[in-house]
Amino acid sequence: MADIDVEAVLSKLTDSEKVDLLSGIDFWHTKPLPHHGIPSLRLSDGPNGVRGTKFFMGTPAACFPCGTALGSTFNVDLLEEAGKKMGDEAKLKGAHVILGPTINMQRSPLGGRGFESLGEDPVLAGLGAAALVRGIQSTGVQATLKHFVCNDQEHRRNAVQAIVTERALREMYALPFQIAVKHSSPGAFMTAYNGVNGTYCSENPALLDKMLRKEWGWDGMVMSDWYGTYSTTDAVNAGLDLEMPGPPRFRGDILKFNVGTDKVLPHTLDDRARNMLKLIRKCAAAGVPENAPERTEDTPETAKLLRKIGVEGTVLLKNEGLLPLKKDKKTVVIGPNAKIATYHGGGSASLAAYYAVTPFDGISRKLETAPGYAVGSHSHKMLPLLGAQLQTNEGKQGMTMRVYNDPPTSENRDCTDEIHLTKTEMHLVDYYNDKLKSRLWYADLEGTFVADEDCTYELGVVVCGTAKLFVNGELVVDNATTQRQGTAFFGSSTVEEKGFLEVKKGGTYNVRCEFASAVTSKLGGNTDLHGGGTLRLGGCKVINLQEEIEKAAELAKDADQVIICAGLNADWETEGLDREGMDLPPPMDDLIRAVAEAAPGKTVVVMQSGTPVHMTKWIEKVAGVIQAWYGGNETGNVIADVLFGDANPSGKLSLSFPRKLQDNPAFLNFRAEGGRTLYGEDIYIGYRYYEFAEKEVLFPFGHGLSYTTFEFKDLAVETKGDKVEVKLTVTNTGSVAGAEVVQVYVAPPKKEQLGEREVNRPRKELKGFSKVYLEAGESKQVVVEMELKYATSFWDEFRQKFCAERGVYEVIVADSSAVEEEKSLRGSFEVTETFWWSGL
């Protein structure tokens, strides 16, 4: 891609050509104008890895730990390194723009995309995002901050207004975007699906023009979320540059007509086209050719980085002396997450990973003798994918998919495509086959398995289109004759229709699915949005849950150390659907409690989830808990490294873990009612609320243990012009090397200083942090620098500006938001005169 002279090119474009620049041509590409030297840009998800252009049969990629894990590293240098690798991965996929990072605030543990975001604190999220953006854009690839703003739930996300005070909007929800703009200058923004206070974000001039462009002085390109443009004139005039995906629904000929009637004025059209051209010019630095082929580059260096990120984000929540485990002890591994690599959440975050290491495999490699194993319980919401349990006629794992123009009832039909599938979850939105004659087409999927015991199998089918599942020629699941609306695949598909199959040990069973494309769906939705449709085939043995729990507990009795691999997966935490509660899938709580009672003092729980889950039913009975999140390609190796002490955990929780859902400040105001969601907790989200209300949490924001100990001393706080400098010495007082996070909180002036000027404020807020690595016995001086106005200000709704009040501000340096006096230091600085400010 060649560099372009933006103003020279803009002067040559017709109004029609300018409009052509403002929408995509397909799911991932913008429109080229070759005669003007304007190439097509390729955009790609996403939040924890670069998928490329395909949902179906995507090119394998590096899968990074999820957003909450990235936030829990509290390490901006490491996140910048991660961003560089993301940029390199984008180049392999021929992408010029990455659709990430995600930095929406986590009001509630139930948010379906909570795992994508960096945390509940705007400073942590903003500084972390800035580091990722700097890393990405150092490669020439451009980053996209999303979703601007208040896209904090999935329930009715396209049809809900966030009703939020201006103060909460500024101090909590817009602030991470503001900080990221200040420290990184991202190339693009993506608007949220929802509206704010009555106006949809993609057509909201107060957000896009007044705040983002005029107040913050940002000059990048604003795109909609996919199908998140809801108007023609309003969106263009408000500042939305690019409608995605294409072909356009609100632009194209409609916008060209409105330009001709002056509903969109010439200078406004120029502004939108100019922003697109400026982004194209920035992307030239990446050196990625137009329409480049997609490639992979699975290297040891990438694996090493992913493993390091995973370890630094893993949080040791509890340790009563059991951890680290011993490699020569009799070990038992229990749980549904043990033999499945739960490495990403659902939706835009999903991708085909280079590989994925299961916890069981990672643990087994550390041990001198093989561990015992019991599944104990299931964790699935939908049945586990069937592909991993089947073989093709050629002996490969998975199924063979054969595509046809004609239905199964036709004789002598010709196969137009044959595909080997290992994963039986197919979003066919981007499947293309030039031998297909129309949008109506058919596919047969086939594989076999040999039963290893007499048992009952449960099989399930989810589809956008129609599907029937046969075993040895007998119909087991009919998801064609009658269909019911479900929530999978962004709400496009049916519920999981199920059937049962009795099998005998040693018997061979041929599984065949007859699928027809999206246009055959009886759901009545807009199948145009979903291309060829969707199909998910699942299945597993039906187990007696009580017997499995008893078997696991009995196995644990004789072990020296027991590892329970528990948690959620992409069924539970996914784009398009919020969780209904914080509970683990039943009967997982019963399993953990039974095993812990059978092996007291010997049981550690490895929890995989992107957001908090309830733990109070068993937390007192286990000797250790590790929060492993969704760990990307290296999931199993990261877990094993931490369990056995080959790596010292240094992650800190990027969000509070409440004892129960009802304690969460958004409990009464989460999800849409009457077309709106009331942000009734105002600025008090996360730890700000729990501290102000003196509500006990299970694990506080910023919490994380280590296999060593640290000491803070010699605090010095100094104001230097517009900066506040915090200096202290950190010493590793333990016997092994490790890393500690210095967390700097600032408390507002005391009430007696404020008098009538008092405004309710959180007791303290995170304003800076730094991670320091220390050998055993080593000391280092740590300096955390904060900008004075960001460290002191609240949003003054009368003046519509930030206000830094005069008074003495307390600085609290600690290793967690739950300050323990013996592990913290206190100092102060003073603002002598109140001042107001706006901008960056």
Residues 6+ positions from 9 with CB-CB distance below 8 Å: 36, 37, 38, 277
Round to whole Å and give the CA distance between 552 and 563: 11
The neighbouring-strand residues paired with 110 are none
Angle at 334 between CA 330 and CA 339, to 5 degrees: 110
Candidates 558, 681, 690, 556; CA nearest to 622 is 556
3-state SS string over 379-395? CCCCCCECHHHCECCCC
What's the token pair of residue 8?
Answer: 């020279």
How many Å separate Cα 380 from the centre of its chain?
19
Dmax (CA) for the chain in angstroms is 89
Give all strands (DSSP E) within 245-338, no chain letters.
315-319, 331-334
Dihedrals phi, psi of 333, to nearest 5 degrees: -115, 130
Q: Which residues contact 817 (CB under 8 A, 6 or more apart)?
A: 656, 687, 691, 700, 701, 702, 703, 743, 745, 764, 766
Counting Cα atoms < 13 Å in the Cβ hemisphere of 671 gives: 12
Tokens of 498: 């199920």
Tokens of 650: 């240094």
Annotation says 45 is catalytic: no
Q: What is the rounded CA–CA span in Å between residue 43 and residue 144?
A: 10
Please say whether the beta carbons of 171 and 161 come within 8 A: no
Q: How far apart are CA 625 and CA 597, in angstroms?
A: 15
At 363 the three-state DSSP class reads: helix
Q: Cα 85 to the chain's mean position, in Å?
A: 17
DSSP 523: S
Q: Is residue 696 within a helix (H) or strand (E), and if so which, with residue range?
A: none
Q: Judge residue 202's burial from the number of C-beta atoms within 10 Å of its C-beta, 0-12 exposed, 13-18 middle, 19 or more buried.
A: buried
β 624-627/603-608 pair status: parallel
Q: Exposure pattern of 287-322 as b/e (b: 16+ CB <10 Å)?
A: ebeeeeebeeeeeeebbebbbbbbbbbbbbbbbeeb
- Do the beta carbons of residue 574 and residue 616 sit within 8 Å? no
**Which residues lie below 8 Å from residue 116, measured CB to CB, with a gap of 6+?**
47, 48, 66, 67, 102, 104, 345, 348, 349, 575, 610
Name the β-bridge partners of 43.
Answer: 97
Name the catalytic one among 45, 152, 225, 815. 225
Return phi, psi of residue 354, to 5°.
Answer: -50, -45
Question: Which of helix, strand or coil describes residue 338?
Answer: coil
CA distance 771 to 555: 41
Closest to 65 in 3D by CA, of 79, 84, 76: 79
Contact predicate 538/463, CB 8 Å? no
Taking CA 687 as the corner, what is the angle to CA 350 and CA 161, rounded to the nearest 5 degrees? 60
Helix (H, G, I), strand (E, B) or coil at 657: strand
How far is C-alpha 814 from the chain's CA centre?
Answer: 28
- β-bridge partners, 16: none
Give the tokens for residue 385: 């994918």
Yes or no: say if 388 and 397 are a contact pair by the CB < 8 Å rule.
yes
Instruction: Look at the chain and count its residues.
Output: 840
Q: How far apart are CA 460 and CA 493, in angstroms?
A: 13
Residue 728: which region, alpha, beta or left (left: phi > 0; alpha: psi -120 to 50)?
A: beta
Burial (0-12, 13-18, 19+ Cβ within 10 Å), 839? exposed
Q: Which residues are catalytic, by number?
A: 225
